[in-house]
Chain A
Amino acid sequence: MTDSNTRLSTSSPPDRARRRLLGGLCALGAGTFLTGCDRLSESAPVRAALSNVEQLSYKAQRLIASRQALAKEFDESQIAPVFRPNGTTNPQEDYYRAWVENGFADWRLTIDGLVEEPMTLSLLALREMASRTQITRHDCVEGWSCIGQWTGVPLADLLDRVRPADTARFVVFHCADHTYGGSDLYYESLDMIEAYHPQTLLAYDLNGEPLPVANGAPIRLRAERQLGYKQAKYVMRVELVESFKQLHGGKGGYWEDRGYDWWAGI
């Protein structure tokens, strides 16, 4: 606001041509903007750039938020009457149907990959380990939330038993179900910080009852600081890896292979 920027004058007729040009540019801009954004969504470099934003969100949250911060736990009175199932709710694979038939008696959980002592555990063996019970809120990427009570083995305890190698950077959860009956098995992965988080469980009970088939029987993952699609159901195998590049689509999860963020903390 310096004097050199001000000048004294009387009203002059407005510059019509300039106004028309300005108006035209505005209309053109709005029109191309909408179709432009849709086109951009299809272009590979733009999609790569957009996914860099995910890395920014991930690093920012790791930087600012405490790694040990606990997700809020709720009161029993807040448990939802029905815990809403999503994704696959009734796997049709023969092996899975057979497990359901005999109450998961010959179902086994395998923990292997970059570990010093790979192991196989029955459901009974898991139930005999020290457990944790927590009432937490499940937040779906779609936007809804549901509160449920989970009982299971802290993943940290299992990792302590198999002793991960120094090279292990991610824990991958392989599931029994072909999502929506398609050709791909569901899988998910966590970094070691989320994997060792005290609220990260392999849960076998929901609201004090054995986990129903719709919610992931016999065990499902609970990673309480992540969105719903991280909470892998029907977990059969836990594999420790240095990188998930070689697995399935290479993005670390079923939905990640379909464009969703691997970092599901937001």
Chain B
Amino acid sequence: MTAIKSTRRKFLRMAALAGGSLALAACTPAVVERTVVVEKEVEKVVTQVVERTVVVEKEPTPVEQVMVGAFDVGPHGCPQCYDPLKRSVGYWWLTKMWAPLAFWDETGTKAIPELAESWEPTSDDGRVWRITLRPGLKWSDGEPLTMNDLRYQFRLMYNPEYAGERAVTGARYFVGGEAYAKGEADDITGIKVLDDLTIELTYVDPMPILNVSDIYFEFAEHFWSQFTPAEIASGQHYGDARPCCGPFMWSRWVKDQYTEAVANPYYWRGRPKLDKLINRYFDNETTAVLALQRGEIDFTYIGRDVVPSLKRVPGYTVIAGSSGVANFIALNFREPIIQDLRVRQAMIYALDREKIIETLYLGTAQKLNCLFSQAQFNPSDLTDYPYDPEKAKALLAEANFTQEAEWELITYYSDQLSTNVMQAIQKYWADVGIKVRPRTVDVPTFNSFQPIGKDWVVSYIGQSHFRGARDAMGRWANDQRPDALGECKNMHGCYPSIDEVTADLKIATSSLDGAARLEATLNVARTMNAELTDIWMWAAERYGAVNDRVKNFKFAPLPANAGFYDQSELWEIVP
């Protein structure tokens, strides 16, 4: 009796659950797809543009010029990040639709003017910069693109109604910015539009180099001014079809699946060869690779592990590029034994970095002896620290090295290659008597304790370095993390020569004398190498794979803010 009761009971419960859930599913109103609504609006814009493009368009090419790529797979990507306040990476796809003032080339050293024709400092103290746009630029709906749009964008970004607290941190670089961001002033005095093509920016601190690739023309004034800042901040309009100034323009965003962009006939370099460019979203890199091999997509970022097999498959090209990220083992000087230079030297002598590069990276990484991989930032007198376990053991004995307990080697990298690297490090150090245990944590956990120097002794991390000293400020200068534990407000704690390095970094980022900047950067490199503020490892390559039917394709796996010129208007499908 008990048995029958429980089964029938269970059955009825589940039937009710099923019925309830079906009812729930059925009743959700055309909840749906914002895309349906958005598409209707988009169709209006697209048909308008198409009518105009009929006039402008060249002979239609025989092959369908539609390229599908997984542009947001990989560490540089941020799928569906259309809210500027909530993204820190993901700029590569954005540059397809909204162009910056200038691009970098793949090496990150040469600026390639894009929307801006020229830019120069107009004051002796390097605080005032004048930027001139090319004449005749237009948005994708035909409206002229002027510096008024840029001013509108600055005003929006630093408007407290739009950006809240972030308005202040962003605006304070400009004269009069902080007052505006706090709501005390109506306008930013440091941003002046001289005429349609010229803008004058006045910075609070001297700016030796202007980062023109960081400034995107994302907000067209004539479109966005119809909404209040608060409305824009709510995020409901980021799915709208809005004016674009890049090679492609917004067509539609099918949520959670892909974003479609079509050729922008008003692009200043000329209408792109491709008709449609689609960015498809994947939850899993393996699926993206399978789709690439199947021919469903034409490009994806690939991890190191996949490179050997793809290289052997005909019809695909594996593109390698410097990642712009230096990998190293950060040291926490709050642990007393780390403060002994001999211990640090032992740690680096104990590692056969070349062997790891040769076997795990298959020779595709560049060994580092300081933070920078660029030749111009590496002084010729750096010590190399070749693999020498005997020397390491001797140094440790000299320093009376003891550990209270096993150290944890913390990292946030979860890919197979990095896991293998961590275990190789563990083995090399164990061979000389340093005991560590690799531990991978996720990014939020990592960010909650590692940057303030809490609860770790060694951690394997990466740092973008292709901008030189600017990239080193955050982790080597003394005043960057007021919340860090201990006296020195730095991730490392008080490492030797921290004050000198801080002074050098300040010179390297703000001096107007190019030679002085270079010398300061070289000094920083020398200190990093001699004092071993960290155990330097390598700068690895990262990869993308593209179907050979796409011609003129360029890819540089640089992280986040690095807007590089990928000549996307020249991409063409030739079977």
Asked if A and B bind, the verdict is no
Binding site for A on B (CB under 8 A): none
**Which residues of A does B touch, CB under 8 Å?**
none
